[in-house]
Structure 1
């Protein structure tokens, strides 16, 4: 026997998604399956959701640019395509950088890595081992953007000043001034260095990788023993590697 509360609660149609996330995914899938545009009524029919629920969620998704309203109804918004482009970025970067990474490792014998930003860190999406067995070469390794060569190479060309300020916020006044000067030098030379700042006994040099529209995507770096790796020798090689990856992305 149902309680009064249960009698007064409208049950969701059989087969309708229950959680908010499930409902959002169902709406996006319905619009995608339609192949162009869908009306609120068509989405409600496809998802088994009440029209009022569909109308409310579609309004929220439109405000966030996941959907867009047209004269014919609702279609997928630009934000979904932006997210899709970002999801394919590591694959495109790896395809463009793979031969460059291998060549740089063969020429120098040092550890070479490809890094992309994630929050206040740089994350490795590819690495080839060199003379540094103490450093892991697995993809997914994280290093602080504030101190690493790859992080400085990225931040120097990052157009998001708020991100740069947030990452450098822990620095004291003098250190912050020095950091800004260092980034200005990186922009001028298109190469960054980390001399035992992140890891004792290790020197790293990095250069930014840019997209076809000149947006910085990450950095390619080389790391070796600070006592034996010559920064004067590897700097032009790393700079050329970053430029080559950028050119390969443009040509892809």
Structure 2
């Protein structure tokens, strides 16, 4: 099938835009790629792919390097602008800095995107831990503490619907749950405690603690606050101390005029 036939069959109203988005997705997933690799990934002629790259390069959406093409600085600006739309993300850094506990920790904000936790903001603190979750990266919601904190907002039936096409879950570590029943047990414990725990289930050697964050305004996404810590030497007392600090931060980041604030702390 030719490119024109493919466009007519799919009835794409803006094929150039669609192809550009697919090209950016490829670079986001794979990193730097040559023109030949991009053309193959898009199933396009090299000449068509080169034209897309030229247009995106002019807009700083991609940049040309010795190894090929990679994402441009404009994509980072857009990602930051997206996150900055939300009041809670804008205030997140100040709240972390003011916390005697969180100021020293690696704290992240994530939202649920399909079956994944998508990371929007990051407070480095002075922790030694450096997780592989830079802004815009994802982890399976079933395995990460932030993902589970996001899933806590749903009942078990809805969780099953959201994750139906991900079962069995990927086994990222020896501790990763692979079936839905194991996840639901962890979510039940999380709802009881008021915070989610990831005990080396998404990264070896990393313990995660996270709490849900109520949307600030109607239409805002459900967010979660999470901390990643080195498993070695991390005792239960520290985990609970961090969890308490996260809950306090979440309370500060909850709109005082929202229904959640009027209800007060949830009973679990």
TM-score by length of 1: 0.56
Which of 203, 210, 214 is the matching residue for 2:207?
203
Whether 1:91 and 2:85 are equivalent positions in the alignment is yes
Q: 1:99-129: per-residue Cα shift (whole Å, max 9, x none)?
A: 2233348645121101111222111111022
Q: Distance in 1 between matches of 2:121 and 2:148?
A: 18
Q: Distance in 2 between matches of 1:245 and 1:203?
A: 24
Secondary structure at 2:254 match in 1: helix
Does the CA contact (< 8 Å) of 1:154 and 1:216 recur in 2? no
Matches within 5 A, 1:12-27: 20-21=13-14
Structural RMSD (CA): 3.5
Distance 1:105 1:168, change over 3 A: farther
Whether 1:123 and 2:128 are equivalent positions in the alignment is no
Corresponding residue pairs, total: 170
* Structure 1 position 245, deviation (Å): 1.6
Distance 1:236 1:161, change over 3 A: same
Secondary structure at 1:247 match in 2: coil
Which of 216, 239, 248 is the matching residue for 2:247?
239
Runs of 5+ in structure 1 lacking a partner? 1-18, 23-86
* Structure 1 position 142, deviation (Å): 1.6
Matches within 5 A, 1:1-252: 20-21=13-14, 91-92=85-86, 93-104=88-99, 107=102, 109-129=104-124, 130-136=126-132, 138-158=134-154, 160-161=158-159, 163-166=161-164, 169-171=167-169, 175-212=179-216, 217-229=222-234, 230-247=238-255, 250=258
Secondary structure at 1:242 match in 2: helix
* Structure 1 position 90, deviation (Å): 5.1
Distance 1:211 1:205, change over 3 A: same
Secondary structure at 1:224 match in 2: strand
Distance 1:88 1:131, change over 3 A: closer
* Structure 1 position 205, deviation (Å): 0.3
